[in-house]
Amino acid sequence: MYQMFAYAKKYNCDRVIMLYPHIDKLEEKTFAIERDMSRKIKINTVGIGIDLQKNKRALLGQLKIILGGPNASFNS
């Protein structure tokens, strides 16, 4: 966790997202450092139990939601 805050500071990012494979008991959380409440680390999970050759759009849909909602854009 500390390393992610260090990256955020070094690269001047206000948001860092840690992605993990989806596990039922792992909750999505957001953390902030007391000295710098503007920098946040968000922990998200993504379902990887899909055949990406057949259903790449399902994973892209999950990532779009995590990155900023269904209208987020990034190269596929």
Nearest alpha-carbon partner for 40 in 8, 2, 3: 8
Angle formed at CA 16 by CA 11 and CA 20, multiple of 5 degrees = 135
**Mean pLDDT of the 12-16 span:** 84
Does pLDDT of 72 surpass 60? no
Distances (CA, A) of 34 to 5, 54, 72: 12, 44, 29
pLDDT at 51: 82
Question: What SS3 state is found at 13?
Answer: coil
**Mean pLDDT of the 31-35 span:** 68
**Mean pLDDT of the 12-33 span:** 78
Dihedral sign of CA atoms 68, 69, 72, 76 in order: positive
Q: What is the pTM of this model?
A: 0.63
The alpha carbon of residue 18 and the mean position of all alpha carbons in its chain are separated, in whole angstroms, by 5
Does pLDDT of 59 surpass 70? yes
